[in-house]
Amino acid sequence: MHTVSQLKSGQLTGIKHLKLSESLTSFPLEILQLADSLEILDLTNNSLSSLPQELTQLKKLKIIFASNNCFETLPEVLGQCQNLEMVGFKSNQIKYVPKNSLPPKLRWLILTDNRIETLPDTLGERPRLQKLALAGNCLTHLPQTLSQSTNLELVRISANQLTECPDQLLGLPKLAWLSFSGNPFSQSDININSVPEVPSSSFSLQNVLGQGASGVISKASWNTEQTAFPSDIAVKVFKGEVTSDGYPEDELRACLKVGNHPNLVQSLAQVNEERYSALIMNLIPSHYKNLGLPPCFNSCTRDTFPEGFTLSIEQIEKIIVQMKRVFEHIHSNQVCHGDLYAHNTLFDEKANIIFGDFGASTMYHMLTEEQQTRIKQIEQRALDHFIDDLLSVCAEKDQQSEKYNHLKQQIAH
């Protein structure tokens, strides 16, 4: 974190990444002193409602974050920033997105958790667009021009007011990660009772194991001796608010609809109380580790891995076989995971995997047969990318093997 006083004193001259959070109500023009170096500007958690025309002086600016501010309109000056690739204005009060507010080199647009009802046709006229996050708005339709977005790979449109399935997305050649739950067109009255309900008083939360956009996962213990459930459990308590992927209740329902599988985190019970929703799961053994890391700014939609991380071709092949079974199981239950990635996969030394995180998942049984087919094809691309990413960390000695070439050919076809 940096300060305006540091800017004024000249201490930050030459930096590429500036982060300011000081309850700012106006844009500090001292930032312009960094015009020759600044590439990433993070103004998250302030009280800004506008940006000055002088922003265009930041010729090297590639990324701007202004989440948790007071913007009601996406600033038009952004569209004049010639090298700007990533725009993140999550959790503002944005109602209006002007047609000229989208930069020409836009790759990644985050407008999650705002009040947007319509988007301009110019959104589909940004040929480099790869990632589009629009969950938690008031959208009733999407621009038809998005059918031109041939490089679009990831879309989040959950928790909106879309009355029809946006078919202009389903035929996109590179779309691989899609979530659309919590819209009128994807509503379902299906009743899922695949696991029993228990009261929150039946267990006690212990140490936190991890947390994501939709909730916090903790190790837990039963308050009384149990015969119906394992003694080692984990509990995900949902936050109960819209996330970057949609509504937590949609995640819970999709997770329950999928049911159990040897390579999925096993659901045991659920809590449905006023202001308290939770999923009780099997506790994953501690020797399981994350298979990958989330995408970075440069990779945009593709997973990353720790430096020096490798897998043998035998490990890769075993992991792929398991993930293909998971894929078929999920889609046999008419659920799209929406986030099929190595970073949502745990593995052990024997290459056994456990797949989880249904935050972006969507039930799709209510769609037409053709739409369902296209949804599965979209997620098949995610599976292909998963395989390709694993092959990118294949041990060098195995990269000329028959198995390696066979897996490469499977992706190509």
pLDDT at 4: 84
pLDDT at 106: 98
Question: What is the 8-class DSSP label of residue 273?
Answer: E
Is 60 annotated to bind ligand?
A: no
CB distance 48 to 72 below 8 Å: no
pLDDT at 396: 94
pLDDT at 330: 97
Q: What distance in Å separates the CA atoms of residue 86 and residue 131, rounded to the nearest whole number?
A: 9
- Predicted model pTM: 0.93
Q: What distance in Å separates the CA atoms of residue 100 and residue 123, rounded to the nearest whole number?
A: 10
pLDDT at 126: 97
pLDDT at 412: 64
pLDDT at 274: 83
CB distance 182 to 359 below 8 Å: no
Fold of 200-282: Phosphorylase Kinase; domain 1 (3.30.200)
Candidates 269, 288, 289; CA nearest to 279 is 269
Q: What distance in Å separates the CA atoms of residue 36 and residue 57, rounded to the nearest whole number?
A: 9
Q: What distance in Å separates the CA atoms of residue 392 and residue 404, rounded to the nearest whole number?
A: 11
Q: What distance in Å separates the CA atoms of residue 357 and residue 318, rounded to the nearest whole number?
A: 21
Lay out the sheet containing 267-273: strands in order across: 203-211, 215-222, 233-238, 276-282, 267-273
The 10s digit of each residue's pLDDT in 267-318 is 999 888 888 889 999 999 999 999 999 999 889 999 999 999 999 999 999 9
CATH code: domain 289-412 is: 1.10.510.10
Candidates 413, 351, 345; CA nearest to 380 is 413
* Angle at CA of residue 176, ends 174 and 181, nearest 5°: 130
Which two structure tokens, joined as six digits, stand for 203? 């267990």
CATH 1.10.510.10 residue window(s) in the chain:
289-412
Q: What distance in Å separates the CA atoms of residue 179 and residue 384, rounded to the nearest whole number?
A: 18
Query: What residues of the chain score a pLDDT lower than 70?
Result: 240, 412-413
Residue 71 CB neighbours (<10 A): 19
Q: What distance in Å separates the CA atoms of residue 403 and residue 313, rounded to the nearest whole number?
A: 7
CB distance 271 to 226 below 8 Å: no
CATH 3.30.200.20 residue window(s) in the chain:
200-282
The 10s digit of each residue's pLDDT in 369-409 is 999 999 999 999 999 999 999 999 999 999 999 999 999 88
